[in-house]
Structure formats: structure tokens, C-alpha cells
Amino acid sequence: MFGLMRNLYLHLQKKSAPRSFTIVFLGLDGSGKTTCVAALKGEPTEEATQTWGFSSEKVEVAQSSVEVYDLGGAKSIRRIWENYYAEVHGIVFVVDASDESRLPEVKAAFEEAVSHAYARGKPLLVCSNKQDLAKAASMTANDLRDYLDLDSLKCNHLCVDCSAAGKEGSTPDESFLEGMAWLVRTAGVQYASLQARVEEDVRVEKEKQEKKMEERRLRVEKLRQERLEQAKAEEAKESPAEQQSPTSPPRQEPGSPEAVYAVEEEPRRRDEGESQGQAQIPGAIGA
């Protein structure tokens, strides 16, 4: 009985423990991601500026603490998106519904994102943004749902019409805030499995990064060693101490037969030279 009550207490304590969520905002540049984040923070949306790279904000949604990753959407920056999928509990994909010319690019970026192993199956909110603009009327949330084929995805998803900026001086679009509340509540229902997945994916990704760093370190060390050995070989080849001059006689080691012979020959050659000199002097005078 005591054990049963203790397990029930631990279960309730774990269930009531404060949860924190991490949500990533994706979308092409100019889609309104940073404006959405400003709306969540309750800041003036007209002051939002485009994100280049990455920014992180802490907000409260549906009485839960949420860390928001706002990732830049320029084509050259999208390659960093996959570096953050492992850490998140949910995804927000923002689309500029007023710009139909970029919809093929939107679809390609969306499909690449949601098919990634670390993002696949996580709760998803799609925002058909900028509905306050006249051009957006032709691309509603229902149209965008069909265009992106959301119903084929094996995850909880919701697509909403919104205008994160709202009209000047007005409050942010309620549909966007309700969509965010839905996303956090959905992630909360799946929190145990999502958190376990996040922890495992982060561990695996960390090991991959450490392995890459070690492989890079070994490559650099190997290259440094090869350059060092090459430098030593070139130095040995060019060193004068290792070479003999072509005009110099071979060096004779002391005590060698050649050295003894040279010592014995030197006086004899000197005596012969002196005798020849004396024999030639009278002839020279007589001449």
C-alpha cells in the first residue's frame, strides 16, 4: 500500500513539474518569422527586422515557458536549419501568402525541412501569413494546406490564416496566437515521448559533431607531420655539411693507410724538389 501511494505521488509530482518547450520558426526570408516572434513577446511588430542567421527568445505561451529559435530564411542560410531540429519539440513554418511567385521555393524548403529525421513527426503549425495584404486573398490556409499536402504528413499539424503584424496600432492576429497555443498544448500532450526523443537526438548529434571534430583534428595533425617531414628532407638535401665540394680532395681519416702514406711521402718530395732546384741554378747563371 505504501509503495503504491509513493509511486502515485512521484507520478503526480513528475506530471506537475514545470515543462519547458523549444519551438523553431522556419520559412523563407521576408515571410514574417521575426514579426511572429515579436507578436509573441508583445512587442511592436512594426519594429521587427529581418533575422540573419539565428536568434533565440524566451516567451510564455499557454502558461508554459517556451524558447523560440528564429532562423534566417535566405537561401544561403537555410543549410543551418538542420542543426537545430534535434533540440525542438515543435515547428512553426511561416509562409508569405501574398507572394505566389515564391510558392515553389516555399514547397521545396518545407518538404526538405519536415522530411529530416530529427524534424519528422513533430507537431507542426503552418502560418499563411500577411492575410492583411490584398494579394494574400488567393492563398488561404485551406489552399496552402492542399498545396503543401499537409494531410500526407504523419504528425499533428494545423494551418491557420494570420497576419502577425496586424494593422498599424492593432494587436497581433488572434488566429496566430491561438495557433501557437495549440502547438504548445499538443507538444505538452506528447511531452514524454518528445522529450525522450530530443534527448536521444541531441546525444546522437553531439557524438556526430565530436567525431567530425576528431577526424578534422587528425587530418590537420597528419598534414602538419607530413609538412614537417618534407621540410626536414629538403633541409638535409640542401645542407652544406652533408655535401662535399667537387674540387676538394677526399677527406682522409687519421691513421688510415692513405694518411700514413701521405705523411711518409711529403719529406721525400720536398728533398727531391730541393735537389732539382740546386741542379738548375748553375745552368741558369751560365745562360
- Do the beta carbons of residue 108 and residue 219 sit within 8 Å? no
Ranges assigned E (strand) in the chain? 20-26, 54-61, 64-71, 90-96, 124-129, 157-161
- What phi, psi does 130 have (nearest 5°)? 65, 35
Cβ 67 vs Cβ 23: under 8 Å: yes
Task: Characterize the bridge pairing of strands 90-96 and 157-161.
Answer: unpaired
Q: CA 109 to CA 103: how far, in whole Å? A: 10
Q: Which residues are part of a known binding site for Mg(2+)?
A: 34, 51
For 152-168, give the DSSP string: GSSS-EEEEE--SS-ST
Annotation: binding site for GTP:
27-34, 73, 129-132
Binding-site residue numbers are 27-34, 51, 73, 129-132
Q: Which residue has the cell 583534428?
A: 217
Distances (CA, A) of 201 to 66, 86, 122: 19, 5, 13
Q: Please say whether the beta carbons of 88 and 101 come within 8 A.
A: no
Amino acid at 103: L
